[in-house]
Structure 1
Amino acid sequence: MVDPANSGEGVELLLAESGERERSWRLNFDGYRRVEHQDTPPRGFQDCLGVLGTGDVVAEYYQQQVEMLEHFNEMDTLTDRGFLPGLSKEERERIAKSETLAIRLSNIANMVLFAAKVYASVRSGSLAIIASTLDSLLDLLSGFILWFTAFSMQTQNPYQYPIGKRRMQPLGILVFASVMATLGLQIILESMRSLISNEDQFSLTKEQERWVVDIMLSVTLVKLMLVVYCRSFTNEIVKAYAQDHFFDVITNVIGLVAALLANYVEGWIDPVGAIILALYTIRTWSMTVLENVNSLVGRSATPEFLQKLTYLCWNHHKAIRHIDTVRAYTFGSHYFVEVDIVLPSEMPLREAHDIGEALQEKLEQLPEIERAFVHLDYEFTHRPEHAQAHDT
């Protein structure tokens, strides 16, 4: 007989055992705990050279393991609750308004400061100031491209663009970067021509110098304030604006110093400063081009991200016998995901479909994923469904 006084405790024990049996088929890392390591003492000469010692390699390895466990815990939360915990609706709206304000302030400042730098370029005729103004033009037009592509992606047309228009943004940046690289090359050619030719030495009158110094210092100060303001946000677009503002501070200082040195020391310093700024601009946008090319050609996700997806798929349902394939590749700024799971051959179609559809919806809840495709199979010994094409 069951003691009524202990009946509640017995029911709780039975429920706990039932829940344990229910979770036994899942991969579970709850037993692993993060170990807090003490800060290692400074290593003097090795720190100066940036050389990794044995302790640094081990610490980096354990840090990767900690991050992996954090990702797995996040997937467990998604499996148990059906959603990822986040901020409340009011908090998200407040943060979104602040981010929108930061972007608008940045765009307005870019337009006003670009006009001021154009005036400074006309008054001084300095090639270095013109090169710095070109960098401001980059900031202004890149902001316009981000706005235009975001607007284009929001206007969905499922008939003409059935998978969306996520690639509009990297494509627009590629076209824009090509134009800006051409302008930078033109400045380099003009600077080289000025160095080779026997033109008059560069000089500024006192009034021109005062205007140029006042405008460039004012622009640099405003940009520095925008750097501090935009870096207080976690949004990637706002952080990109902060980086652009910081680069603009650098180009403003280099352009102003080159113009003043050319006026007081040697005239050839001005075209040399312009060449340095043009090369810096071309290099910066070349790196941006490479990043966006990778997002267009469908580059694979990192192994850590694929690990996280595999863990989520295996813990999705106890009927899953094998995971045949997990792919994630870039589609614009997000990922497309393809998953092949193996279910029992005798399982009814209705049940198998529900398992696959639920997994697809779960995968698409991850913020990095644009769309997920789940393929159902009953065996895994066959060749891949999509064989790689080989040239003959």
Structure 2
Amino acid sequence: MDGVNKHEGYIPTSSQEERDFTRQREQWAISLSNIANVVLLLSKIYASYVSLSLAIIASTMDSLLDLLSGIIIWWAAMSMKRVNKYIYPIGKKRRQPLEIMIFACVMTMLGLEIIIESSYKLLWVVGIMLTVTGIKFLLFIFCRQFDNKIVKAYAQDHFFDVITNFVSLGATLLAKAYVWWLDPIGAILLAFYTIYIWAGTIIENAQSLSSTSAPSNFLAKLTYLVWNHDRAIIKIKTIYAYTLGDYYFAKIDIVLSKDMLLWKAHDIGELLQN
């Protein structure tokens, strides 16, 4: 008996209406994030043009890649809803971490590019940056409440933007008031932070694609669930689970009485699988 379980849970506890409402809110979070990325990118382009600050330009490059990566993730989410089961018999669940890895790779390349370009000295504008940071922080609060991995990637991106905006803001102000080299140094620090954060994301999603075994606490709960599923189960012959993108793929073999009717044994197995 094979089945796929989401990482975050073991037994569905919400109604179909609640799950539909949660999926709708997750879609709102993704749409709001994409719209905000467009508006904030335009604002940062204007701030970069007026201020000529290296730190602001670095942050603008980050927002540009946010938008491009957001389009990639949105396309992945839409494509997973339209699945030809004859071509993809187990769905497209593995595409989700792949697209997030693409997102992370692009962000890491951004960090390397900022380090290369950070020898230039520029200035900046405060009001737009504070507005951008505030909007990003609100989007971070909104997106972090969801369990969906794509929405969580957006939450991580929004939080990263809050950090980079504050660092670029502080670096530029200090550079203007005290020493010129604080602005490029701030850009270099942002670049290293970008590489650190998104390299970790690449590693995390690569592990989810490597079909590693589920943790022992997951297997223990799964064993408890199977054993207490039906009194007709005599013993559990085989049980294991491994990562399948954002999910766990579980294989379970149970032993029933040899005298049990076939239709009853089928119903027990099918209910357990569902």
Q: TM-score range by the shorter chain?
A: 0.7 to 0.9
- Paired residue for 1:326? 239
Report whether the alignment pairs 1:315 with 2:228: yes
How far apart are 1:298 and its partner, in Å? 1.2
- Paired residue for 1:303? 216
TM-score (norm 2): 0.83
Q: Cα–Cα, structure 1 residues 264 and 318, in superposed 2: closer, same or farther, change >3 Å?
A: same
- Paired residue for 2:134? 221
> Which letter maps to 1:337?
A
Q: Cα–Cα, structure 1 residues 119 and 239, in superposed 2: closer, same or farther, change >3 Å?
A: same
Correspondence 1:95-106 to 2 at 5 A: 95-106=22-33
Kept after mapping to 2: 8 A contact 1:298/1:330 = yes
- Paired residue for 1:57? none
> Which letter maps to 1:287?
G
Whose Rg is larger? 1
- Paired residue for 1:168? 95
Gaps of 5+ in 1: 1-73, 79-83, 362-392
- Paired residue for 1:274? 187
Kept after mapping to 2: 8 A contact 1:262/1:270 = yes
- Paired residue for 2:71? 144
Correspondence 1:128-277 to 2 at 5 A: 128-191=55-118, 194=119, 202=121, 204=123, 209=124, 212-230=125-143, 233-236=145-148, 237-238=150-151, 240-277=153-190
Identical pairs, percent: 57
How far apart are 1:214 and its partner, in Å? 2.3
> In structure 2, the residue corresponding to 1:328 is in which secondary structure?
strand
Distance (Å, rounded) in 2 between the aligned partners of 1:235 and 1:222: 21
Kept after mapping to 1: 8 A contact 2:235/2:255 = yes
Distance (Å, rounded) in 2 between the aligned partners of 1:224 and 1:188: 25
Runs of 4+ with deviation above 6 angstroms: none
- Paired residue for 2:205? 292
> In structure 2, the residue corresponding to 1:336 is in which secondary structure?
strand
How far apart are 1:238 and its partner, in Å? 4.6
Match of 2:249 among 306, 320, 336: 336
Kept after mapping to 2: 8 A contact 1:130/1:274 = no
Gaps of 5+ in 2: 1-8
Q: How many residues align?
A: 265
> Which letter maps to 1:301?
A
How far apart are 1:167 and its partner, in Å? 0.9
Distance (Å, rounded) in 1 between the aligned partners of 2:103 and 2:16: 38
Greater CA deviation, 246-255 or 347-356? 347-356
TM-score (norm 1): 0.60
How far apart are 1:245 and its partner, in Å? 2.1
Report whether the alignment pairs 1:108 with 2:35: yes
| CA deviations over 1:87-110 (Å, ceiling 9, x no partner) | 472x55555544443432222111
How far apart are 1:289 and its partner, in Å? 0.8
Higher relative contact order at CA 8 Å, sep ≥6: structure 1 or structure 2?
2
Alpha carbon RMSD of aligned pairs, Å?
2.7
| CA deviations over 1:177-219 (Å, ceiling 9, x no partner) | 223322321221233xx2xxxx8xx364xxxx4xx22221221
> In structure 2, the residue corresponding to 1:161 is in which secondary structure?
coil
Kept after mapping to 2: 8 A contact 1:135/1:281 = no
